[in-house]
């Protein structure tokens, strides 16, 4: 595992880690430091685009913060000495990724490539989830970073599950055949495609892999497919740490995720964000995310949709609580 003086004396380790997931418009320095105070082991920045980062110049503020700004003074990224931060890049090119990484490399502990964001902001430039179906481009980006940064900084990526390919068209309807040929179950197709991608990623020499256990068209109301991560863990070499992301809203969720999937670490997004908001009496309505479950009229439809396409349907036993009332950043859980 690559270590870094940027993160202080503690080794940079993914096994057993509770990581703050990258969240756009949230994971700036103040929020990351707040999560660190509450026990987060690894702190991911929000996704920052390679060309924007490459245009930055570094300076040190009066408070001792390393700041990366554009020529017009716009702040793009900031950090403090010894912050345990992983810098997440939005990129579609190995050379562009390396150019951006070289700008910030001395102030971060790891460089992570975003391969899961489905938002147009990311995908329109061939970044984020667009990379999931471009394995050779993924290989170029990761091998370029590993070759240049390996040993100095950890190189990782975060993906989503691949969407199942469409079933073949039915044969022409005749008296001699059936109207429709049964298609293979979507969940198996999804898993097979995802396993192929993760094997290729592992072959690039990355230090860890984070998996958001949803597919590109899924939204927060869709239940995360933890069982897919179980199969990924069984397929990849034990030496590659796997972080699970998706539907971690409570300590019970965290315990169950670790027990059921074999994940080496956890990556928390909405759960950690909303819990911290509540800890400082900030009403959830003021936050970017709503931690509540889908409204009652939609729950039956959500369960039916999950069952139809292979997702784990929500039940009274496994659905997160309608309101999160305790912080998931709790040291006692990790001890």
Pick from 137, 184, 131, 136: which is nearest to 162 by CA? 131
What is the number of residues in the chain? 335
Active site residue: 117, 157, 204, 293, which one? Answer: 117
Annotate 155-196 with DSSP letters as a single string: EEEEEEEPPPPPPPPPPPP-TTS-SSPPPPPHHHHHHHHHHH
Bridge partners (DSSP) listed for residue 242: 209
With contact defined as beta carbons under 8 Å apart, do 13 and 2 qualify?
Answer: no
- Name residue, tokens 């900031």: 78
With contact defined as beta carbons under 8 Å apart, do 210 and 245 qualify?
Answer: yes
With contact defined as beta carbons under 8 Å apart, do 117 and 128 qualify?
Answer: yes
Annotate 207-256 with DSSP letters as a single string: SEEEEEEEETT--TTSPP-HHHHHHHHHHS-TTS-EEEES---SHHHHHH
CA angle 75, 79, 84 (to 5 degrees): 145
Determine whether 293 is an active site residue. Answer: no
- Name residue, tokens 């309505």: 285
Pick from 96, 58, 52: which is nearest to 78 by CA? 58
Q: Give the C-alpha separation, 257 to 215, whole Å.
A: 18
Pick from 196, 264, 185: which is nearest to 230 by CA? 264
Q: Catalytic positions, please?
A: 117
């Amino acid at each position: 595992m690559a270590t870094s003086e940027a993160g202080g004396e503690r080794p940079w380790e993914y096994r057993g880690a509770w990581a703050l997931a990258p969240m756009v418009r949230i994971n700036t320095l103040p929020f990351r430091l707040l999560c660190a105070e509450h026990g987060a082991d690894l702190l991911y920045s929000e996704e920052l685009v390679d060309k924007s980062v490459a245009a930055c110049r570094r300076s040190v503020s009066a408070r001792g913060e390393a700041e990366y700004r554009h020529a017009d003074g716009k702040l793009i990224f900031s950090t403090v000495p010894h912050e345990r931060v992983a810098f997440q890049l939005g990129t579609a090119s190995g050379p562009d990724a390396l150019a951006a990484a070289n700008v910030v490399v001395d102030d971060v502990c790891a460089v992570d490539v975003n391969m899961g964001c489905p938002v147009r902001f990311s995908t329109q430039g061939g970044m984020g989830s667009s990379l999931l179906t471009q394995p050779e481009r993924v290989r170029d980006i990761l091998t370029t970073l590993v070759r240049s940064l390996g040993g100095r900084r950890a190189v990782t990526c975060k993906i989503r599950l691949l969407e199942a390919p469409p079933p073949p068209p039915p044969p022409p309807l005749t008296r001699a055949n059936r109207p429709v040929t049964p298609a293979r179950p979507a969940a198996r197709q999804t898993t097979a495609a995802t396993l192929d991608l993760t094997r290729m990623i592992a072959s690039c020499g990355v230090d860890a892999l984070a998996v958001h256990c949803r597919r590109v068209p899924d939204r927060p109301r869709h239940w995360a497919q933890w069982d897919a991560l179980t199969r990924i863990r069984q397929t990849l070499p034990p030496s590659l740490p796997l972080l699970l992301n998706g539907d971690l809203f409570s300590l019970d969720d965290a315990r169950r995720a670790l027990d059921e999937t074999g994940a080496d670490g956890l990556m928390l997004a909405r759960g950690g964000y909303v819990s911290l908001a509540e800890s400082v009496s900030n009403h959830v309505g003021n936050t970017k995310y709503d931690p509540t479950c889908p409204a009652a009229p939609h729950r039956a439809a959500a369960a039916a949709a999950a069952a139809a396409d292979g997702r784990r349907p929500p039940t009274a036993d496994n659905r997160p609580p309608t309101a999160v009332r305790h912080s998931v950043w709790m040291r006692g859980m990790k001890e």
